[in-house]
Amino acid sequence: MAAPELRAVLDTNVVVSAALKPHSLPAAIVSAATAQLFVPCLSDAIRDEYQHVLTRGKFGLPPDRVSRFLADLEATARKVTPTEKLAVTRGSGDDKFLECAVEANASYLVTGNTRHFPHQFRTIRVVTPREFFALLVELLAR
C-alpha cells in the first residue's frame, strides 16, 4: 500500500472522466483514492465544481449516482480551506486547484489540461493521469 502521506488534488476533468468512463485511467485513479492508496485533497470550491459539472444534463449522469460517486471520494479525502489566493494558472478558475494543493501540502495536481498549469508550483508537480498512475504503480511495487 502507498504511504498515506501521498496527497494529490484531482482536476475536475479527471473526476468527470472517471465518472463517465468507469474502465478508464482516471477511474482507476479515483478507485485508488477510495481504496486509500493515496489521499485526495478537496476544498469546498473544488467539490462544488465537481458537483456542478457532473450534474450537467449533457453527461446524463443520474443525480443519485453523482452523489454516491462524490460521497465515496469525499470519504477518503483530506478537506482543506485554502488561505492563500493564487493567480498563476492560465485557465479561468483553475487557481483553486493549486490553492488546495498548497493548503493540503499535496505533492501532485493531476490534470488532463497540463497546459493550464505550470509544470511545477513550489513543491507541487503537475502531472497527467497517466504519469500519476505510473507513480502509484511504482509505489505499490515497493
pLDDT of residue 3: 47
Among the listed ranges 1-5, 76-80, 94-98, which one has the minimum average pLDDT value?
A: 1-5
The residue that leads in pLDDT, 90 or 68, is 68
Tell me the CA distances in angstroms from 117 to 40, 96, 109, one per residue in order: 19, 11, 9
pLDDT of residue 142: 85
Confidence of residue 71 (pLDDT cuts 50, 70, 90): very high
The residue that leads in pLDDT, 140 or 42, is 42
Considering only CA atoms, which of 30, 39, 11, 14 is closest in space to residue 95?
A: 11
pLDDT exceeds cutoff 80 at 50: yes
Question: What residue type is 102 in one-letter code?
Answer: V
Given a contact cutoff of 8 angstroms between Cβ atoms, the answer to whether 12 and 100 are in contact is no
Average pLDDT, integer, range 14-33: 97
pLDDT of residue 90: 83
- Axis crossing angle, helix 44-54 with helix 63-76, rounded to the nearest 10: 150
What is the CB neighbour count within 10 angstroms for residue 1? 9
pLDDT of residue 92: 73
Question: For residue range 108-136, what is the model confidence (pLDDT) as tens digits?
Answer: 999 999 999 999 999 999 999 999 999 99
